[in-house]
Amino acid sequence: MSAFSTSPGTRDILAPDAARWRLFQEVFADVVEQAGYGYMIPPMFEDLGVFLRLGEATDVVTKEMYDFEDKGGRRVALRPEQTASVCRAFVQHRPTTPWKVWYAGPNFRYEKPQQGRYRQFDQVGIEVLGVEDPHLDAEVIALASQFYTRLGLTNVQLSINSLGDAGDRQRFADVLRIYFESHIDRLSEESRITLTKNPLRVLDSKRREDQAVIADAPRIRDYLSAQAGEHFAAVLAALDAQNITYTIDDRLVRGLDYYRRTTFEFVSTALTAAHTAIGGGGRYDGLVEELGGPATAGIGFALGLDRTLLACDAENVFPAPASRVFAFVVDTTGGLEAAKVCHELRSVGIGVDRAFDGRSMKAQMKAADRSGAMVSIIIGTNELEAGQVLIRPMNSGEQYMVERAQLLTAIRQEVINFQ
């Protein structure tokens, strides 16, 4: 019988990388919680209907959803993203507005797995419900940008666009449809199909044969209502005021159907693979209503953790955190002394590991090296009888003997030396 391994598009995240994932979420929490966002944990699966509201021209919904019937006969789906769940939660719990939340965790999309694209992938994100103010759009974008800076990323570019209000979007979609239909023979097969569902999404095509037609397509900026135009101008002014650089990208429509007004995307120029988008978001003023709630403005973003870490690797920033094991106990007297030392040091918050199974001095020293510890604490029969221990800083090799009773004081001093 062959052994099992992970399903396509899923991975085990092992140490030390898993600690890096956790740190990623902690840094994100730090950035957004100091701006007043509260942590929320939506369920990993929901009634399929919640996600169907994301739009029928969205691949995420039509092709990539992990949906199934549960044992109670309910149609459910693993969440492909979390914005819809946040909006469903808003309708269900009716919190006071503005409702500012953040989340982190895995999403599931049945995509073709490759570098930077997985079937289970993680996102961190924020959503704000109940605020129309364009300054909020700029705040949301600024927080994403601050987070990238905290990670140490410098090769991140922001693209921004306005899709106008529902009416503008519809008028623009009609104009686009006529335009693309008049050039249908120059469009790819896939784009012809997309055109029948949502002409805006044709702008999103990355296929080479579509690019010439897309380049000459009408521009949304010429179809914005006065209010949507003013809103967009105010967002840009607020970004300028915070020294956030951006490029206006008329072609930015983004994957999900529910976006209105401001949409934005962050791209890592350090990534060379096909998937350079590391995060994005926008306004979705109609989504809460779609889910049966009152007309409520909404805006947010989701940043892809997996891909952002690839960008960190490419820029050589945000490494996995160092081992938390400061000391390693090498005990050749049977291991009881190691147990006492570990307990003593751990209970005052000093990280310490040890070897088991009565291994040889040499094997234990090797384990100490591998552990990432800064010092080893060596206890042999002579030391035990004399009531002493040997301390060996791993980097210098200048070992010294201390009284057993002075061990804690000596290790505390070593902690200070290594700071």
Residue numbers of the site for ligand AMP (CB under 6 A)? 81, 109, 111, 117-118, 121, 123, 255, 277-280, 302, 304, 306-307
Closest distance between ligand AMP and the C-beta of residue 255, in Å?
A: 5
Closest distance between ligand AMP and the C-beta of residue 401, in Å?
A: 54
Indicate the residue whose CB is closest to ligand AMP: 304
Residue 294: φ, ψ to 5°: -75, 160
Closest CB to ligand AMP among 310 and 379? 310
Closest CB to ligand AMP among 298 and 304? 304
Closest CB to ligand AMP among 60 and 329? 60
Closest CB to ligand AMP among 134 and 304? 304
Closest CB to ligand AMP among 107 and 364? 107
Closest CB to ligand AMP among 8 and 16? 8
Instruction: Compute the Cα dihedral for 39, 44, 48, 53 and give only its sign.
Output: positive
